[in-house]
Amino acid sequence: MTSDALPDAVSDALQPSDSLWARWRTTPWRDVLRGRLSGSLDYRRAMVGHDLPQPLLQTVDEVVRRTQLWPREKCDVAAELCAHFADGLQAGHTAEELQKSFGSTRESATLIRRAKLRCRPWLWHIRHRTWQAMAVLALALAAIWSVLLIRFVTAKPTITFDLVADYDKESRAIPEEDRAWPLYREGLVRLSQEELRGYKFPVLGALKTGPSDPHWPEARQYLIEHEDAVEWFLRATSKPELGFINRDPENAGWLAAREYGGWETYNGPDTHGYFIVLAQAQDMRFVLQFLYGACHAAAEDGDGPRLVTLFTALLRIPDHARQAFDGFMADLVAFSFLRGTSDLITSEVLEHPELFTDANLQQLAQQLHRVLGGRPFEFRWTGERRLVEDYIQHAFSDDGNGNGRFTPAGFQELKEVTVGYVVSDKFPVLAWIPNIPESGMADSLQQTLFNLSGAAVLPMVADRRTVRAKWLELDQLRQQAFSNIHGQAAVDSYEDAIQEIMDSPSLRRRFLPVAVMLGGVWYHEEIRLLGRQLSATNLRHDAAIVAIALEQYRRRTGEWPDDLALLTPDLLAEVPRDLYAVDDAPLTYRVVDGRPLLYSVGPNRQDDGGTTAGDGKSFWEAEDGDWVLLPPREPAR
């Protein structure tokens, strides 16, 4: 390698650099490919040979260095300025004069750089402008993001009420001697988790099915072994109110036996949102099955009075289940209990009429009329609306005027509520925004990721007032859809409203809590089936009342009536309407093969001659065929 040098008198600072790196940077590719680090694009080499005094060389060096141009451009500028000064010296000017007339080196460098950049190829300009635009965009995004981040991390919910504590307050107001739950609980703790879910599980099915079940002998033995539990259940059903208290240390034993955790965490202060645990209602299903088993045993033993006592108890359980919660969820359970009990009464009255006295039948009919407060049975929605308000207060900040913005806490609750539900395909944000970490330095990265990602996405969620209004609007539509079994338009309105949100990514983000809770967690596609459970409850409750009236008529006349109208008004206040009949006609009745046949035309609203769809579906799932009420179906296994 060669190195040209400026005159010895010139400062070392103005000498071309001999460092390998400097040579590498100022060597054209052509030379590099030839294996030469010539450093020919070092502008200080361009200053060689002009024999300028040091002040002028310093001026040139300062200007060229400040331009920050490409090496080749620097070389051009340096050569031109040196030639200029050399011409000036040759014309008789002194170095000082030339330096003075040159002007400001800083300004000159700026102007030269600006002008030289304009000379660069258009491809460079495109790239340069693109980078500039991206930088401006990044800065703008960073600024916006920062504002959003501050808004996000400072948004805190304002809690004004404790929903579960409010429910408990209502329960505590019930006199202790009127509360059924402590007695149910006493019976339930006598049933171990292993027995209910373990090897004796077939026994539970046999308790419901009765003697026709192959496991019935084991079930009878099980009833004998747990006779005390049955007695606790019977005592419980004599109480007027359920009186369940969520945060009650007395529940510790029951919760431990059920592996539900500690009593403090059962709907505890830290668990909230559009969500409440109703294990007490769920466990009453075991109560029901035990009493079903006891009924079958009493019937098998020919013990009519015991059977009537048990039926009386069973008809109290739907009311207790309904008192577990003042909303739709508890109603579903209660209606399910009533359907099962109605079917059992229907079956026993028609198949073992000898077990009932006339007074027993009269008494059962009256109890059937009184159950769940009498007809019409309807879903309640108060509890669901209270849950909405509870979620809103835990998810949004409150500006004091009923408005506020979505908070990190609200998002975290959405994530927790949806655990176990398949919602991630519609709500990717639930998957890719991490959880809020519990605590600790190790979680600081996760917290940062949560804040950064959450700040970008969650401000897209509408404000508190808007989300609440949309939620209540949909809730109202849902209520209408459930309350009218023929209201296809109402069902469609609700489904369309939900689907509109679910089909639109922007609406899903805007109404994220509503979309997740109503469109993701609630399977609105099943609304028809859930609604039909109400129809089924009404019809099977009607069937039990008609069955008693038919037996009473048979006892008087020795035969089944040809028409249900013959039962009115003495034995039946009025002939039940068929909820699915087009013209509000009564249920279809006739005697076939010496047995009463009673049916509804079902959801297809056509008389199929009293035949079921026969595809093994649940009562309310069958689209075709009739819903045959009498003779009663074999209890489901």
Which of 9, 92, 118, 584: binder of other proteins (CB under 8 A)?
Answer: 118
Q: Which of 88, 318, 410, 602 binds other proteins (CB under 8 A)?
A: 88
DSSP state of 598: E
Q: How far apart are CA 323 and CA 319, in angstroms?
A: 6
* Look-up of token digits 């207060």: 393
Minimum Å gap between C-beta 90 and other proteins is: 8
- Among 193, 196, 185, 197, which residue's Cα sits nearest to residue 254? 185
> Order of strands across the sheet with 595-600?
588-592, 595-600, 627-630
Token pair recorded at residue 547 = 């069955």
- 421 DSSP 8-state letter: S
Q: State which residue, 121 or 614, has the beta carbon closest to other proteins.
A: 121
Among 2, 101, 160, 506, binds other proteins (CB under 8 A): 101
Residue the block writes with tokens 């109603």: 331
Q: Which stretch binds other proteins (CB under 8 A): 111-119, 345-353, 493-501, 516-524?
A: 111-119
Tokens of 560: 């089944």
The DSSP result for 563-594, as a single string, is SGGGGTTTT-SSPPB-TT-TT-PBPEEEEETT
Supply the minimum distance, in Å, between the C-beta of residue 117 and other proteins.
Answer: 8
Q: Where do runs of H (alpha helix) occur along 433-561?
A: 444-457, 464-483, 488-503, 505-510, 512-514, 527-557
Q: Which is nearer to other proteins, 115 or 139 (CB)?
A: 115
Antiparallel, parallel or unpaired: β 627-630 and 595-600:
antiparallel
301 binds other proteins (CB under 8 A): no
- State how far the Cα of 320 lies from the Cα of 168, in Å rounded to an integer: 15
Identify residues 47-76 at the interface with other proteins (CB under 8 A): 63, 76
How many beta carbons lie within 10 A of that of residue 197, not counting itself?
12
The CB-of-5 to other proteins minimum distance in angstroms stands at 19
CB of 145 to other proteins, least distance (A): 38
Give me 138's structure tokens. Answer: 């990044």
Q: Rule CB under 8 A: is residue 81 a binding residue for other proteins?
A: yes
Q: CB of residue 75 vs other proteins: minimum separation in angstroms?
A: 11
Expressed in percent and rounded to 5, the helix, strand and coil fractions of the chain are: 60, 5, 35
Helices 279-301 and 181-188 cross at an angle (nearest 10°) of: 70
Q: Rule CB under 8 A: is residue 112 a binding residue for other proteins?
A: yes
Report the nearest approach of other proteins to the CB of residue 108 (Å).
3
Under the binding rule (CB under 8 A), the answer on residue 104 touching other proteins is yes
Ramachandran sector of residue 605 (left: φ over 0; alpha: ψ -120 to 50; beta: rest):
left
Cα–Cα distance measured from residue 181 to residue 283, given in angstroms and rounded to the nearest whole number: 11
Q: Which region among 103-111, 202-210, 472-480, 551-559 touches other proteins (by CB under 8 A)?
A: 103-111
Residue from 18, 87, 399, 559 binding other proteins (CB under 8 A): 87
114 binding other proteins? (CB under 8 A): yes
Considering only 86, 153, 279, 456, the residue that binds other proteins (CB under 8 A) is 86
**Is there binding between residue 119 and other proteins (CB under 8 A)?**
yes
- Taking CB under 8 A as the binding criterion, the range among 81-89, 349-357, 518-526, 552-560 that sits at the site for other proteins is 81-89
Indicate the residue among 88 and 625 with the shorter CB distance to other proteins.
88
From residue 492, give the alpha-carbon distance in Å to each of 484, 517, 602.
Answer: 12, 19, 20
Distance CA 612, CA 626 (A): 5
Residue from the set 26, 27, 40, 108 that interacts with other proteins by CB under 8 A: 108
Of 18, 107, 399, 615, the residue at the interface with other proteins (CB under 8 A) is 107
Closest distance of CB 123 from other proteins, Å? 15
Q: Which of 7, 103, 214, 609 binds other proteins (CB under 8 A)?
A: 103
Q: Which is nearer to other proteins, 118 or 420 (CB)?
A: 118
Write the single-letter amino acid at 323.
Q
Say how many CA atoms lie within 13 Å of 437 toward its Cβ. Answer: 13
Backbone angles phi, psi at 30, to 5 degrees: -60, -45
Task: Return the residue of 116, 190, 215, 426 that touches other proteins, per CB under 8 A.
Answer: 116
Return the H-helix or E-strand segment holding 621: none
d(C-alpha 41, C-alpha 279), whole Å: 82
524/306 Cα distance (integer angstroms): 43
Site for other proteins contains 97 (CB under 8 A) = no
- Looking at residue 121, the DSSP 8-state letter turns out to be -
**Measured from the CB of residue 426, what is the shortest distance to other proteins in angstroms?**
55
The C-alpha atoms of residue 182 and residue 248 are separated, in whole angstroms, by 11
Q: Is 144 in the site for other proteins (CB under 8 A)?
A: no
Question: Minimum distance from CB of 415 to other proteins (Å)?
Answer: 58
Hey, how many other C-beta atoms are within 10 angstroms of the C-beta on 518? 25
| Segment lying near other proteins (by CB under 8 A), choices 106-114, 149-157, 403-411, 475-483 | 106-114
138 part of the interface to other proteins, by CB under 8 A: no
346 and 544 Cβ atoms separated by less than 8 Å: yes
How far apart are CB 91 and other proteins at their closest, in Å?
7
Give the total residue count for the chain: 637
Q: How far is the CB of 104 from other proteins (least distance, A)?
A: 6
Binding segment for other proteins among 96-104, 172-180, 280-288, 626-634 (CB under 8 A)?
Answer: 96-104
Residue from the set 32, 83, 139, 140 that interacts with other proteins by CB under 8 A: 83
Among 27, 40, 105, 535, binds other proteins (CB under 8 A): 105
Measure CA 515 to chain center: 8
Q: Which of the stretches 101-109, 277-285, 382-390, 588-596 binds other proteins when contact is defined by CB under 8 A?
A: 101-109
For other proteins, give the closer residue by CB, 69 or 512.
Answer: 69
Complex with other proteins: residue 80 or 228, whichever CB lies closer: 80
Choice from 1, 5, 20, 115 touching other proteins (CB under 8 A): 115
Q: Does 270 bind other proteins (CB under 8 A)?
A: no
Give residues in contact with other proteins (CB under 8 A): 63, 76-77, 79-81, 83-84, 86-88, 90-91, 101-105, 107-108, 111-112, 114-116, 118-119
